[in-house]
Chains A and B, each alone.
Chain A
């Protein structure tokens, strides 16, 4: 079944650690996105990609980085985690015409940095 997967679902990690949040999709979508959402707040776009070797920063400044070496895989990395990075991170994908069809979201990673 075509889907989009995020791992881990929950992560509690100490300050200063390097972390990578995984996102994979089996739908063959070219466009992929990372959003950040604090509890009760709106989603903010932090990164997006049009396809392999394409990465762009979103509206919200973020210390994280992303890579897109394969169409299906769009990992997000924090080199040195801080408590301010505590949030929910949502990955999404869409066809190139995503403006008409919307996104499919993964189940999210809830990150807590202590």
Chain B
């Protein structure tokens, strides 16, 4: 059974600081990972995906993947109150599983003004 684990939080970060969100996964066959942001009462929106070891940067967001340690993280620089949301980590299916992304429970991030 593929599992994606996240600390549910809440994670409280002062405005302007770096928010660090972490995710671990159990299936060594997983090749790529997605970070979604979900505001309360809204549907998830894709903000980053990563499939290579190392870092991938997009604006204030940096995704980090370490396949040997089976974790993926998301860094948000210069955190803004509008970044307050739940961040979902997701992994795609590997052979033999149901063909849909598996999501973690999400980390609730609060940016304090």
User: B104, A42: Cβ atoms under 8 Å?
Assistant: yes
Question: CB-CB < 8 A to A103: which residues of B?
Answer: 46, 101
The yes or no answer to A1 lying at the interface (CB within 8 A) is no
User: B101, A102: Cβ atoms under 8 Å?
Assistant: yes
The yes or no answer to B88 lying at the interface (CB within 8 A) is yes
In the complex, number of A-B residue pairs with CB atoms less than 8 Å apart: 58
- The CA of A59 and the CA of B99, in the complex, are separated in Å by 9
Question: CB-CB < 8 A to B101: which residues of A?
Answer: 45, 102-103
Q: Which of A11-19, A66-74, A75-83, A93-101 is found at the contact surface with chain B? A: A93-101
A34 to chain B minimum Cβ distance, whole angstroms, is 9
A28 to chain B minimum Cβ distance, whole angstroms, is 18
User: B51, A105: Cβ atoms under 8 Å?
Assistant: no
Question: CB-CB < 8 A to A59: which residues of B?
Answer: 97-98, 100, 102
The yes or no answer to B43 lying at the interface (CB within 8 A) is yes
Q: Which 10 pairs across A and B sit closest by C-beta, in order of nearness?
A: A99-B92, A45-B100, A105-B43, A42-B105, A43-B103, A102-B46, A102-B34, A108-B43, A59-B98, A58-B98
A41, A50, A56, A107: the one within 8 Å of B98 (CB): A56
The yes or no answer to A111 lying at the interface (CB within 8 A) is no
User: A99, B98: Cβ atoms under 8 Å?
Assistant: no
Q: Which positions 21-70 of chain B face chain A at CB distance < 8 Å?
A: 31-32, 34, 36, 42-46, 49, 51
Question: CB-CB < 8 A to A99: which residues of B?
Answer: 31-32, 92-93
User: Chain B: which residue is nearest A44 at the CB level?
Assistant: B103
Also in contact, A100 and B49, with CB within 8 A (given A43-B88, A107-B42): yes
- The CA of A75 and the CA of B36, in the complex, are separated in Å by 24
User: A42, B106: Cβ atoms under 8 Å?
Assistant: yes
Listed A/B pairs (24) with beta-carbon separation below 8 Å = A31-B99, A41-B105, A42-B103, A42-B105, A42-B106, A43-B44, A43-B88, A45-B100, A45-B102, A50-B99, A56-B99, A59-B100, A59-B102, A99-B31, A100-B51, A102-B34, A102-B49, A102-B90, A103-B46, A103-B101, A105-B43, A107-B42, A107-B43, A108-B42
